[in-house]
Amino acid sequence: MTDCLKNCESTVINECVPVDLMCEYATDPLGIDIAKPRFSWKTVCNRRGMKQTSYQILVAKSLEMLEQDIGEMWDSGKVESGISIGVVYGGKPLENRKCYWWKVRIWDEEGNVSCYSKAAKFETAFLDASEWKAQWIACLITKPGSCMFRREFRIDREITQARAYITGLGYYELRINGNKVGDHVLDPGWTDYTKRVLYSTYDVTNNLKIGMNAIGVILGNGWHCFSETEERSKCIPQMLLQLHINYADGEEEIIVSDRRSGWYASSDSPIVQNSIYNGETYDARLEKTGWDMAGFDMNGKDQGSWDLPLIVEGPGGELRAQALEPIKVISDIKPIRVTNPAPGIYVYDMGQNFAGWAKIRVKGDRGTVVTMKFAEVLYEDGTVNRENLRTARQLDTYILKGEGVEVYEPRFTYHGFRYVQLEGFPGEPDINTITGRVVRSSVEPIGSFSCSNTLVNQIHRNVVWTESNNLHSVPTDCPQRDERLGWLNDMTVRAEEAVFNFNLARLYSKWMDDITDAQGEKTGAITDVAPFIRYGGRPADPVASSYLIFPWLMYLHYGDIKVIETHYENMKKWVSYMSGLAGEDYIINYSRIGDWAPPFAQAIEGSVGASAISAITPGALISTGYYYYNAVLMAKFAKVLGRAEEAVEYEELADKIKEAMNNTFFDRDTNNYGPGNQASNVFPLYLGIVPEENKQAVLDNLINDIVKNDTHITTGNLCTKYIIEVLTEMGRVDVAYALVTQTTYPSWGYMISKGATTIWERWEYVTGGKLIEMASHNHPMYGSVGAWFYKYLAGINVNEEGPGFSKFTIKPYMPDGLDFAEGSVKTMLGVVLSRWKRNDKALNMEVAVPCNSTAKICVPVPGDAKGKFIIKEGGRSLWQEGKFTGNAAGVAKAIEEDGYICFETGSGEYHFECIW
């Protein structure tokens, strides 16, 4: 048990204690701007079946008060509730820029009370926008490179606390007294800056010193000026900074960005060019040593031109604290080989396709130009093939200053690549010359999966890498070419895989705001991409159901009701817009994307997206199907929010759409939807609109088409997810498993056979030719298969009656040829684990159910055993001769259910054995 238990009084239980306290999904968050934040906690317990029945939260202004069990800001009292996720603060109004301490204790189902948890804290930033006194400033001279700002100030007293609140567009780096502050990169997170601008809070107490101090800020173009052809005056890089210094004598000093208090700006930066798409050029000869330190001589030789900054309007968006995880350098990757395909050209194979950049070590003469070109594939001659980048250059250039060993990595760009082509290097580089830097939003990995099939394990690994490579404050479609956008159609199927592998509560909440920011104020139409730039349109294609799927997944996986409350009215507007598209017949004919990017033979040659439109699957079937899906989700949202009348209205709408789809697309003579291809039949089965008496016939047609195509998929990015899930749930896991483990084109195994370490954008292996315009080799949409590993092979399934995994089901499917599988997910309540292993005589299952959860654990039984099997738990008989014997603690009851014996359990670790 934790140290907290050592201090518990004798009257409290020594079995359970709250741990892992979080405020707004973060541990001890610094700089939140939410007036009523939400609290969550897990519980550690050493007995089965523990359930929280009540809680008490204390919030205080100081740790000292909290240690005396005094919550002068909020004492919730004993609240009868089993909820431990998203408990809303209900105390006195919080103040700007204050730190608060909190703790919680709980009561169990027997009335026992735990000791209080260890103390946690949270600190507010600007709850009131009027607290901002700083002004947006920019460089007097605008060049395509970077802008630098500096300011000196004196401190002559002891400091108790200092906080820097800063944003810079497109990106910034904050430095104090010669050192970078914090570990964020590519900050702030990307938004529509005319709607919202995110700022970060840094604790800079230890960065300051008695005497003279200096602040330095470097700006990059980022998404604010992503196009080098755009008129510079319309996207001028700019920054906003406010530094609060609290002294031991009780006084406070505020330093703000402005024109009159000692700030200077220069566009004579060594970063002479920077672009998200094109890379960065760094001329080390232009470095100004000490520019971010006190005493720097701005008038000295070669120190550039320093002038007073300009006051600018700012982008216009509301300033909001950055609530999502910042982008960081996550890890380093060492190359696995280096080749020399031509004189002066060295190609590094990193062994993994990833997002980030390369760090280089080099020594040479002043003015030597070294370039790094980034690519995902190679030409036959061993040089990098960059044709799929379209207009993106993905090129970093370093110009040496000639002063010994120099180390360079970019600040304001990132790339998607496996290969680095090094040119202009003085001498002969070695394997250690280049180091890969993995860069993404620093979301927590929460899922793990493995099984006895090495191909499945590699597919899972590729899915996880691809997903992680496309988390850069926005869930992007790719990290390499001139796109890198948040496409809603991809997320419609990709999102579920992602929430099994990563904690995306904060990032998804932010992206929901991005979608709403782009929504039409008059029409309610959302956009194909968010933030809304470059590609896609408004209205979005109806396949953009991710706008509703996101809140539903967040409710199921995180128990988050707030995201539904926040966006409910806007989601209504989108569904209302779709109703307008449908008209009186409830059929939506508007379709631009549909079941995107099926195998080339199934597509319209020459269609948009380099032949990505299905030639067979009717766009109206897909669009109308998502209209139905949205109506179903809106009914669920309405029920969650207690809007019973609206729930009925949406259920009635769903019924009408269902009837219209069956009347329009279903041929009852042939039992086919549309032309009867895989996508056309599987989508209605997934939606659950197929008449009961026709389900088996439609399934048979689906399987016949799979067989006709030599056990290959013919679906695009959307229906690929549905086909393996429908087959599994309708009793044909054998066919689903055969599709997943297929190794010839088109399949995930085919990608791996071609050396893929990530998932491709399309089923074809494209290195040139007519499909090259849409040939990302790092694209998560076909990674939707990753959810199947967790939900079906490991058998971990959420339950909408118990959101946040307060109730869930373990029901693994075991295809022939698979002898072992395990999956785990770190949920808001604790780790859920499902592990199984079998042989000819027995099946062993291990399951972990977190405290404050209940589970339905379904143990598969052999179909040919004819009831002659025994199920034990922990060595004790649970099921024998067709009856529940009930001899295990924590197991409430059992029922026989379609090839499974399902046990209802409380929390705890369980070890089942089925012997036949």
Catalytic residues: 483, 761
E-strand spans in 224-326?
Answer: 238-247, 252-256, 264-266, 271-275, 279-283, 310-311, 318-321
Determine how β-strand 395-399 pairs with β-strand 369-375: antiparallel
Q: What is the dihedral of CA 631, 636, 639, 641, to 10 degrees?
A: -100
The candidate with the shortest Cα–Cα distance to 479, out of 356, 333, 568, is: 356
Q: Could you tell me if residue 800 is left (phi over 0), alpha (psi between -120 and 50 degrees) or otherwise beta?
A: alpha
Q: How far is CA 806 from CA 506, 571, 698, in A?
A: 20, 26, 35
CA angle at 549 for the pair 546 and 552, rounded to the nearest 5°: 155
Burial status of residue 88 (CB atoms within 10 A of its CB: 0-12, 13-18, 19 or more): exposed
Token pair recorded at residue 409 = 């990595």
DSSP 357-375: EEEEEE---TT-EEEEEEE
Other residues' Cβ atoms within 10 Å of the Cβ of residue 111: 9
State how far the Cα of 657 lies from the Cα of 588, in Å rounded to an integer: 10
CA angle at 768 for the pair 767 and 774, rounded to the nearest 5°: 80
Count of alpha carbons within 13 Å of 872, Cβ hemisphere only? 10
Residue 276 · residue 223 · CB < 8 Å: yes
The candidate with the shortest Cα–Cα distance to 18, out of 39, 45, 51, is: 45
In a 3-state reduction of DSSP, which class is residue 870? Answer: strand
**DSSP secondary structure letter of residue 119:** P
270-294: b or e for each residue (b if 16 or more CB lie within 10 Å)?
A: bbbbbbbbbbbbbbbebebeebbbb
State how far the Cα of 902 lies from the Cα of 897, in Å rounded to an integer: 7
Residue 315 · residue 169 · CB < 8 Å: yes
- Show the 3-state SS of 871-883: EEECCEEEEECCE
Residue 469 · residue 479 · CB < 8 Å: yes
Q: Could you tell me if residue 833 is left (phi over 0), alpha (psi between -120 and 50 degrees) or otherwise beta?
A: beta
**DSSP secondary structure letter of residue 560:** -
**What's CA 147's distance to the chain center, in Å?**
31
Its sign, for the CA torsion 344, 349, 350, 356, is positive
State how far the Cα of 890 lies from the Cα of 69, in Å rounded to an integer: 34
Token pair recorded at residue 602 = 């199934």
Give phi and psi for 552, each to the nearest 5.
Answer: -65, -45
Q: Supply the Cα-derived Rg of the chain in whole angstroms.
A: 29
The candidate with the shortest Cα–Cα distance to 564, out of 647, 643, 637, is: 637
Other residues' Cβ atoms within 10 Å of the Cβ of residue 710: 8
